[in-house]
Structure 1
Amino acid sequence: MSHFFAYINRMRFINRWALMRNSYTENIQEHSHQVAVLAHALAVIRNRCFGGCVDEGAVAVAALYHDAPEILTGDLPTPIKYYNPQIRDSYKQVEHVAEDKLLRMLPRELQGDYEEVLRPSDEQVQELVKAADKLSAHIKCLEELKAGNGEFRAAAEQTRAALDKMDLPELRYFCENFLGSFALTLDEME
């Protein structure tokens, strides 16, 4: 019996932003869905507006699974994960071990397909998932600020700076055309 999908189903139990006071909680399943939507949008924008040729479906699927190792590791807060290169590299090794464990839960004939999902080899897929992940974090900060939670002010500035540093035309396009709506109330969007 394979436990892979039962483990994937448990993504909803792993909360994000553990070091911060949250107006609302966000788990990695919700986050992964949002990252998939955003990554797909970035891929579509790259292909339609900037002459790209990336597999939009592969991007979306990789985004759905991008935090799957956290089912086993938990969500290590960013300030800790990136505190120094040694911790960052060690955590990457821990994530790799968790990916291996998840893959071994699958029947052998499916492992290759899911290895590409958990560890995409296409650099464009990796780049767009990373951008969407950071964009999702920034959106969370905007929503917390909208709810009056000033604790996310510095994180909003840091995530925005990280987005700008990525210097991706599709990310700029998304921010110029869509990002502002996330700071609005439902009534303001009408």
Structure 2
Amino acid sequence: MSHFFAFLSRMKFIRRWGLMRNTVSENIQEHSLQVAMLAHGLAEIRNTCFGGQIDSGQAALFGMYHEVSEVFTGDLPTPVKYFNPRIKTVYQEIEGMAQRKLHQMLPEQMKNGYSRILIRQPEDAELWRIVKAADKISAYLKCVEELKAGNQEFAVACRQIKQELAENDLPEVAFFMEVFAPGFSLTLDELNNNPKG
């Protein structure tokens, strides 16, 4: 018997943005789907607009699983996670242990198929850069949606994350922010009436 998928199903109970008032709560299962879609999109932008050779399906898969360690750790808020280098290092070690624990839950014949997904490999560094950028874009879009709902709690985070994205050196990030991100500030009626939509 394996508890692997039972643990993954608990992602829906783990809330993000725990230190902030949210108009709409977000769990890591929802977040992971958005990151998977964004990572796939960023990879496709890289391939079609900038001559890349990124496996967009693998990028989506990594995005889908990028937060699975939080079924053991919970979502540690960013201000805590990056409070100092020691906390960041220790938390990364804990995440690694959680990923390995999940991997060990799999039946032996399935472990190979999940190794790259659960245990990060050096040869996948560029894919993980894309997933990290997708994760950051997801956080920015959450801030935009909260601000659109009138929640000023996310104003500072929105400015900070937008600046981090502007400084990102991946061309697909700049493309996404110019072409796709503005739509998240619009209402449904505005989206429907936009001739470029």
Same fold flag (TM > 0.5):
yes
2:175 matched to which residue of 1?
173
Q: Distance in 2 between matches of 1:188 and 1:84?
A: 43
| Distance across 2 between alignment mates of 1:119 and 1:36 | 17
Change (3 A) 1:119 1:163: farther
Larger mean Cα displacement after TM superposition, 28-37 or 100-109: 100-109
Q: Unpaired segments of 5 or more residues in structure 2?
A: 193-197
**What SS class does the counterpart of residue 167 from structure 2 fall into?**
helix
On the 8 A contact 2:22/2:151 being kept in 1, the answer is yes
Which residue number in structure 2 is paired with residue 8 of structure 1? 8
Query: Normalising by structure 2, what TM-score?
Result: 0.95
The 5 Å alignment of 1:41-190 reads 41-121=41-121, 122-190=124-192
Superposed CA RMSD in Å reads 0.8
The residue type paired with residue 156 of structure 2 is A
Q: Distance in 2 between matches of 1:120 and 1:49?
A: 27
Amino acid across the alignment from 2:26: E
**Contact conserved, 1:62 with 1:120, CA < 8 A, in 2?**
no
Deviations for 1:65-113, whole angstroms, at most 9, x for unmatched residues?
A: 0000001100000000011110000000000110111011101121122
Residues matched between the structures, number: 190
Stretches of structure 1 lacking an aligned partner (at least 5 in a row): none
Distance 1:125 1:71 in 2: 23
Residue 195 of structure 2 is matched in structure 1 by none
For residue 29 of structure 1, what is the aligned residue in structure 2?
29
Structure 1 segments of 4+ aligned residues over 2 angstroms from their partners: none
CA contact (8 A) 2:32 2:63 kept: yes
